[in-house]
């Protein structure tokens, strides 16, 4: 039995792809000429356009039917765009908001973004730039809707508790977990620190016939030799100095259930011999005891070490390795599953916003772009801690780059697009710096071929060309510097 695969992500046909570029837009501006011009241009581009001359009309239009994007001016009578922003964000959180502001009023745009707008555009509005900005807002709306859907599918189809991930690499892990869970086979989970091996071990337990019995975990790398043996196998009263009472080891504590031997690669050779004996016989003898006791325990082992290499180096017994390696599940590092990052980030955001009672429910597109380029050496755990810190620092409803940890001083001048980049002196400068670094990195990796770089970035070639020109990027200099 294998876990069912979720439906394909993204558009499956050319028609579907085209449909992502248009949607339902509400244009809010007190200038009738501006409203009329925007309606004509956007309607010709295929958008379904609704008009409003102030914030109150905009709210009425939103109540009448769902709309994908609100394109609003900042300075308006009755209700300004800044007054409209929080009301739209509160009542219709999935609706994207783009603000328009006059030339020389960049401060208004920055304030709007801080108040929850997704993007801004400077008047006079260029048709080409406007269509690019609106298409981006619509794609972000579709992506966030997909995140919600995929999370629901994971809960319904997989039932893997707190596990999050829909990439092919994680689907393979889910299939392996499902295949082995209902057996008593010994499982070996391997992968870098922070990839979620402990959560997978718990998922194996919860999907097994032993789910109603104990689930016991021991960190083999956190205990010294003598204490580790006592923790694993138990001891009798008086077995050693300080043993003032009988102690049941973790094998006995997990009777009828599952025992996770975490960081098993850290076990010293002397203890490895005794562990192998227990795994082969199913019997445990407490330190200081005279008889062995049969235990009914399902063992799951986890390590971030390459045990084959440890065997060759003489630090791990070969017979123990083969006894543990009955059913191997390799867990991929986060960098190998970038499509899971928005899903995981949203998952952690929900957890920490509720835990700390903070009104944070969004992560800006610029931050998600930055996350996609970060190597995440600490894997899922590093992402989790980053989101937790950002939720605590965030003063609005959206996590922005200013809420992220700053790079170490040694890395501040690195300029590598694969690191969390420092901000500029203002929000627009910081956003432009991040965007420029990401585009330059993609162009370098694709030897300056814009079509391939656009595919790497997940945008159209025309969109990339527009951004290259807007940011003043010289492709020749990028390729040959």
Q: Give 13's DSSP letter.
A: S
Highest mean pLDDT among 8-22, 95-109, 110-124, 360-374: 360-374
Which of 105-119, 177-191, 250-264, 324-338 shows the lowest per-residue confidence on average (mean pLDDT)? 105-119
Residue 289 has pLDDT above 90, yes or no: no
Report which of residues 28 and 426 the model is more confident about: 28
Of the pLDDT bands very low, low, confident and very high (cuts 50, 70, 90), residue 244 is confident
Highest mean pLDDT among 219-233, 371-385, 454-468: 371-385
Residues 189/324, Cβ–Cβ less than 8 Å: no
Residue 472 has pLDDT above 90, yes or no: no
Residue 322 has pLDDT above 90, yes or no: yes
Report which of residues 157 and 57 the model is more confident about: 57
Q: Mean pLDDT over residues 305-309, rounded?
A: 92
pTM: 0.54
Give the domains, in start order, of the chain with CATH numbers: 14-149 (3.40.50.2300), 168-333 (3.40.50.300), 336-480 (1.10.8.60)
Residue 248, Cβ neighbours under 10 Å: how many?
Answer: 15
Residue 120 has pLDDT above 90, yes or no: no
Check residue 245 and give left, alpha or beta (phi > 0: left; psi -120 to 50: alpha): beta
Of the pLDDT bands very low, low, confident and very high (cuts 50, 70, 90), residue 160 is low
Q: What percent of the chain has pLDDT over 90?
A: 30
Q: Mean pLDDT over residues 342-361, rounded?
A: 89
Q: Give 412's DSSP letter.
A: T
Residue 480 has pLDDT above 70, yes or no: no
Q: Mean pLDDT over residues 405-431, rounded?
A: 47
Cα 280 from Cα 27, distance rounded (Å)? 72
* Contacting residues for 269 by C-beta, under 8 A, at least 6 apart: 315, 316, 317
Residue 126 has pLDDT above 80, yes or no: yes
Residues 451/386, Cβ–Cβ less than 8 Å: no
Residue 423: what pLDDT?
36
Residues 110/141, Cβ–Cβ less than 8 Å: no
Q: What is the CA radius of gyration of the chain?
A: 28
CA distances from 95 to 25, 89, 371 (A): 10, 7, 23
Residue 449 has pLDDT above 90, yes or no: no
Residue 158: what pLDDT?
41
pLDDT digits 0-9 by tens, 190-239: 999 989 899 899 889 988 889 889 999 999 888 777 788 888 888 788 77
CA distances from 415 to 108, 412, 422, 458, 470 (A): 30, 7, 9, 22, 20
Q: Give 380's DSSP letter.
A: H
Residue 316: what pLDDT?
94
Of the pLDDT bands very low, low, confident and very high (cuts 50, 70, 90), residue 407 is low
Q: Mean pLDDT over residues 175-198, rounded?
A: 92
Q: Mean pLDDT over residues 34-54, rounded?
A: 91
**Which residue in this structure is represented by tokens 């910081």?**
430
Of the pLDDT bands very low, low, confident and very high (cuts 50, 70, 90), residue 255 is very high
> Over the chain, what is the mean pLDDT?
81
* Cα angle 353, 355, 358; round to 5: 35
Of the pLDDT bands very low, low, confident and very high (cuts 50, 70, 90), residue 338 is confident
Residues 401/364, Cβ–Cβ less than 8 Å: yes
CA distances from 30 to 65, 77, 195, 471 (A): 21, 7, 52, 31
Of the pLDDT bands very low, low, confident and very high (cuts 50, 70, 90), residue 240 is confident
């Amino acid at each position: 039995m294998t876990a069912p695969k979720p439906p394909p992500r993204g558009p499956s046909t050319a028609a579907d792809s085209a449909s992502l570029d248009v949607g339902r837009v509400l244009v809010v501006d007190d200038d009738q000429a501006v409203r009329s011009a925007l309606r004509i241009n956007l309607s010709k581009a295929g958008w379904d356009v609704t008009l409003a001359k102030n914030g109150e009309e905009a709210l009425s239009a939103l109540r009448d039917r769902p709309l994908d994007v609100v394109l609003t001016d900042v300075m308006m009578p009755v209700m300004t765009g800044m007054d409209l922003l929080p009301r739209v964000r509160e009542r219709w959180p999935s609706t994207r908001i783009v603000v328009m502001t006059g030339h020389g009023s960049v401060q208004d745009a920055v304030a709007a973004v801080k108040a929850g707008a997704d993007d801004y555009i400077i008047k006079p509005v260029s048709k080409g730039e406007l269509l690019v900005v609106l298409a981006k807002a619509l794609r972000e709306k579709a992506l966030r809707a997909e995140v919600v859907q995929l999370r629901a599918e994971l809960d319904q189809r997989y039932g893997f508790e707190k596990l999050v991930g829909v990439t092919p690499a994680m689907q393979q892990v889910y299939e392996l977990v499902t295949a082995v869970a209902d057996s008593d086979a010994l499982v070996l989970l391997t992968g870098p620190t922070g990839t979620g091996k402990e959560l997978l071990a718990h998922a194996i337990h919860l999907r097994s016939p032993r789910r109603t019995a104990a689930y016991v975990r021991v960190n083999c790398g956190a205990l010294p030799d003598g204490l580790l043996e006592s923790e694993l196998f138990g001891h009798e009263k008086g077995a050693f100095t300080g043993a003032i009472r009988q102690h049941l080891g973790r094998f006995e504590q997990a009777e009828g259930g599952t025992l996770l031997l975490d960081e098993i690669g850290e076990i010293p050779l002397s203890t490895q011999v005794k562990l192998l004996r227990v795994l082969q016989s199913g019997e445990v003898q407490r330190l200081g005891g005279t008889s062995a006791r049969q235990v009914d325990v399902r063992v799951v082992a986890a390590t971030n070490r390459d045990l084959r290499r440890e065997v060759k180096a003489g630090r791990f017994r070969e017979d123990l390795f083969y006894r543990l390696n009955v059913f191997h599940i390799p867990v991929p590092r986060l960098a190998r599953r970038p499509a899971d990052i928005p899903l995981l980030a949203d998952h952690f955001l929900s957890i920490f916003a509720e835990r700390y009672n903070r009104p944070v429910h969004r992560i800006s597109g610029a931050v998600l772009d930055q996350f996609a380029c970060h190597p995440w050496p600490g894997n899922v755990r590093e992402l989790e801690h980053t989101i937790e810190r950002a939720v605590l620092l965030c003063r609005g409803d959206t996590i922005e780059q200013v809420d992220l940890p700053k790079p170490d001083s040694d890395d501040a001048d690195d300029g590598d697009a694969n690191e969390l980049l420092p901000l500029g002196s203002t929000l627009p400068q910081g956003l432009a710096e991040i965007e420029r670094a990401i585009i330059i990195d993609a162009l370098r990796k694709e030897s300056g071929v814009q079509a391939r770089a656009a595919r790497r970035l997940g945008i159209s070639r025309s969109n990339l060309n527009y951004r290259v020109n807007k940011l003043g990027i010289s492709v020749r200099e990028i390729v040959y510097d």
